[in-house]
Structure formats: C-alpha cells, structure tokens
C-alpha cells in the first residue's frame, strides 16, 4: 500500500516538482519505530515559501495496521486505509502551494512596510528574494509582479 501511494504521489507531483512557484516541491520518506515495535513510514511533501521557510504535507503509514494518517487542516487527523482517500486529501494542499507562497509574500511585505521600510528598501528586499540561490525560497517574476502590485495597494491604503 505504501509503495502504491508513493508511486501515485510521485506521478501527481511530477508536473510541479522542483518548480520555484511550488517551492521546489519534493518527496521525502523516512521510517521509524514507535511503541510496541510498530513500524511507521512518514511521507513528507516538502516545499519552501519565499524567504526560505520550509513547510510540508505529511502522511504517516502504520505498517502493522496498514493505515495512513493524514492531517487535514479543517478536520484534524484522518485515518484511512484507502490510498485514493489520501490522495484526495492532499491534492488540494499541493494545488494550494502557490497561493500559500503568495500569502507568505504579502505578509512579508506588510511586515516590511509596517516596520518602516522605504520603497527602494522593499524593492531591494524582493529583488534579493527573486535572485536567491535557495531555489524554493526564491520568487518568480510573476510572484514579484504580484508582490509589487500588493505593495503599492498596501502602501496606498496605509497612507489613507
């Protein structure tokens, strides 16, 4: 079951894997033992947000019970033995990575402006992010355009 899930995850993230707008999305699998010899594998879909913070979508697989555990943002922990159910729960989160990155970027802009950053200082900060050597922490040209549009509106509304 774990192999089937990993195969389907690899197929579903293939179009997005490694792309900056998806935070250099990649899959990592680790294994550990928990109480009473239960073996657990953790499948983590790892990605970065602008500036380099790492985030992930986690799926735990309990080998003895052949059960997946997924954390659903609205419902909390969900246990299932159905690979398709797991995929249905994580696909919206994968699709939402670009929007989450935009939210982080807007929050950073708000923080910079509220902290007294000048327009040239803000533009310089965003430009450094765009040219960051940290692939998933960088921003794309489209993210830069959207960030500048947000910054102009934010500054205009702040000034009243």
Whole-angstrom distance, CA of residue 48 vs CA of residue 6: 21
End residue of a domain, out of 66, 81, 96: 96
Judgement on whether residues 106 and 145 belong to the same structural domain of the protein: yes
- Per-residue pLDDT at 60: 95
Backbone angles phi, psi at 98, to 5 degrees: -60, -40
End residue of a domain, out of 80, 96, 112: 96
- Per-residue pLDDT at 87: 95
Range of the domain at 54: 2-96
- Strand 76-80 vs strand 54-62: parallel, antiparallel, or unpaired? unpaired
Torsion of Cα atoms, 92 then 41 then 19 then 149, to 10°: 50
Question: Which residues, at least 6 apart from 51, have a Cβ–Cβ distance to it below 8 Å?
Answer: 104, 108, 129, 137
Judgement on whether residues 105 and 49 belong to the same structural domain of the protein: no
- Per-residue pLDDT at 26: 95
Q: What is the DSSP string of 22-71?
A: GTS-EEEEEEEE-GGG-EEEEEEEEEE-TTS-EEEEEEEEETTTTEEEEE
- Per-residue pLDDT at 109: 94
Look at the chain and report how many structural domains it folds into.
2
Judgement on whether residues 19 and 85 belong to the same structural domain of the protein: yes
Judgement on whether residues 28 and 51 belong to the same structural domain of the protein: yes
Judgement on whether residues 18 and 85 belong to the same structural domain of the protein: yes
| Number of residues written out for the chain | 160
- Per-residue pLDDT at 73: 77
- Per-residue pLDDT at 52: 79
- The model's pTM is 0.89
User: pLDDT tens string for the chain (160 positions)?
Assistant: 889 999 999 999 999 999 999 999 999 999 987 777 789 999 999 999 998 799 999 999 999 999 999 988 788 899 999 999 999 999 999 999 999 999 999 999 999 999 998 889 999 989 888 888 778 889 999 999 999 999 999 999 887 6
Judgement on whether residues 151 and 119 belong to the same structural domain of the protein: yes
- Per-residue pLDDT at 160: 67
Judgement on whether residues 85 and 139 belong to the same structural domain of the protein: no
Judgement on whether residues 13 and 92 belong to the same structural domain of the protein: yes
Judgement on whether residues 79 and 33 belong to the same structural domain of the protein: yes
- Per-residue pLDDT at 134: 78
What Cα–Cα distance (Å) separates residue 76 from each residue in 5, 29, 60, 73? 20, 22, 14, 6
Task: Classify residue 18 as left (phi > 0), alpha (psi -120 to 50) or beta.
Answer: left
């Amino acid at each position: 079951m774990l192999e089937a899930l990993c195969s389907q995850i690899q197929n579903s993230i293939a179009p997005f894997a490694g792309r900056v707008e998806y935070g250099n999305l990649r899959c990592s699998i680790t294994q550990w033992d928990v109480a009473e010899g239960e073996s657990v594998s953790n499948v983590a879909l790892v990605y970065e947000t602008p500036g380099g913070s790492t985030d992930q979508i986690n799926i735990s697989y309990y080998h003895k019970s052949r059960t997946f555990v997924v954390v659903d943002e609205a419902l909390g922990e969900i246990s299932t033995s159905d690979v398709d159910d797991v995929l249905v729960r994580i696909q919206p989160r994968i699709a939402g990575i670009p929007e989450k990155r935009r939210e982080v970027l807007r929050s950073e802009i708000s923080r910079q402006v509220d902290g007294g950053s000048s327009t040239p200082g803000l533009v310089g900060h965003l430009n450094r992010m765009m040219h960051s050597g940290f692939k998933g922490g960088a921003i794309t040209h489209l993210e830069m355009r959207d960030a500048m549009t947000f910054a102009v509106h934010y500054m205009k509304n702040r000034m009243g």
